[in-house]
Amino acid sequence: MSLVLGLSVTTRDIRGELVDGATGEGDHLDRAVLDAAGIQDYLATLPADEELAAVGLTWTPDAESDAIKVREALDVYGGGAPVVAVREVEATEALARGIAEMTGHDFLVVCIVEPDAAVVATVDGYHVAVEQIDRMDAATLIERVCAVVRSARPSPDAVFVLGSEDSEELIEALQEETDRPVVTATEADFAMTRGAALASALLASQPATEPAKPRFSRVQLLASALGVASVAFVTSVSVVLASHGLPRVSETEPEPVAASAPLARPAPPPPSVDAVRAMARKPFALMNVPAPQAPAPAPAAPPPAPEPAAPANVAPVLPPAYLPPPAVPPPQPPRLRDRILDKIPIIGRFR
């Protein structure tokens, strides 16, 4: 026979419920209220000849440290059963679905009140909306739960108030808020424990899904093939170069090149015609004009060397232009006075 164990941990206590059947929907076989120090003894009393199909563990946010101790004890005394960590929201959703199936209501509200928090689930056919309410005070809790019931449209078929916390004030406020029946039960303090058992049995019964194999498109396959071909080509080229070696640089010294003969510098050009004319305006300036010199013969070039080219843009050598000597003015004839004096010798004495 298969069994399912549900455990709920709060700051006040730990509650355990052993349920008959592998689905968590059977009758309870054992219920216990204990603390963190007695969890090992409780697990040791579980029937050893029965198969434990799943263990559901849920806890409130403030009781996380005690939940860790319970989890460590399950690793030792759990008998190898799969331990499923169930959140309060998941446990409340599983319990609300179970109540809807059992009562036949399609639209209802389930509220589970625990010492540290409260969870409200609204079932509308196959859809379940769950809201977690952090406990502040009784007035805040009543206001939040009544707001959920008030916003449910159409009006729910019934409202279930469960949990291990005293909820008399909440039940009275809900009865004034709605004309629908507000239901509670004497065993409502194990509601979160049964929800953990239902959720763990559901999760443990699901087969493990294998990871999907990666699928490659044609483009990805072609790109992979090109990448492999490129790697193979580079590898083959590297092997060929390594086997044959790289070409070595020639170690022979370069032959010296024969130095060419120095180029002959051309003779300076004679003064231009304008310069000669300018000097002619001054007396004896032509005497200082240097005579044109014949260019020196170029040295014979060696046979293999080509004849040096004539320098570009060199003006041709022209002989100096002939200039006639300056004209001497003719003597002026004697004046009339001088001729008269020459004719009278006596007057010439007094000059």
| Tens digit of each residue's pLDDT (9 = 90 or more) over 283-319 | 444 444 454 455 555 555 556 655 555 555 555 556 6
Q: What pLDDT, on a 0 to 100 scale, did the predictor assign at position 286?
A: 42
Whether residue 183 sits in one domain with residue 93: yes
Q: What pLDDT, on a 0 to 100 scale, did the predictor assign at position 66?
A: 92
Whether residue 183 sits in one domain with residue 94: yes
Whether residue 30 sits in one domain with residue 42: yes
CB 65 within 8 Å of CB 16: no
Residue 147 lies in a domain: yes
Domain C-terminal end among 45, 70, 87: 87
Whether residue 97 sits in one domain with residue 47: no
The Cα–Cα gap between 230 and 239 comes to: 14
Domain C-terminal end among 87, 122, 150: 87
Longest dimension (CA), the chain: 192
Whether residue 94 sits in one domain with residue 175: yes
Structural tokens at position 339: 């001729």
Whether residue 138 sits in one domain with residue 60: no
On whether the pTM is more than 0.75, the answer is: no
- The vertex-200 CA angle with 198 and 205, nearest 5°, equals 100
Residue 67 sits in a domain whose CATH number is 3.30.420.140
Whether residue 146 sits in one domain with residue 82: no
CB 55 within 8 Å of CB 74: yes
Residue 293 lies in a domain: no
Residue 348 lies in a domain: no
The Cα–Cα gap between 296 and 134 comes to: 119
Q: What pLDDT, on a 0 to 100 scale, did the predictor assign at position 203?
A: 86
Helices (H), ranges, 248-305: 273-280
Residue 49 lies in a domain: yes
What is the number of domains present in the chain?
2
Q: What 3-state class would DSSP assign to 54?
A: strand
Residue 280 lies in a domain: no
Q: What 3-state class would DSSP assign to 345?
A: helix
Whether residue 70 sits in one domain with residue 93: no
Residue 199 lies in a domain: no
Residue 98 lies in a domain: yes
Beta bridge partners of 122: 109, 129
Domain C-terminal end among 187, 221, 253: 187
Whether residue 112 sits in one domain with residue 60: no
Residue 133 sits in a domain whose CATH number is 3.30.420.60
Q: What pLDDT, on a 0 to 100 scale, did the predictor assign at position 92?
A: 94
Residue 93 lies in a domain: yes
In the predicted model, residues of the chain with pLDDT beneath 70 are 1, 48-49, 136, 207-334, 336-351
Domain range spanning residue 103?
89-187
Whether residue 83 sits in one domain with residue 93: no
The Cα–Cα gap between 39 and 346 comes to: 182
Whether residue 99 sits in one domain with residue 13: no
Whether residue 110 sits in one domain with residue 83: no
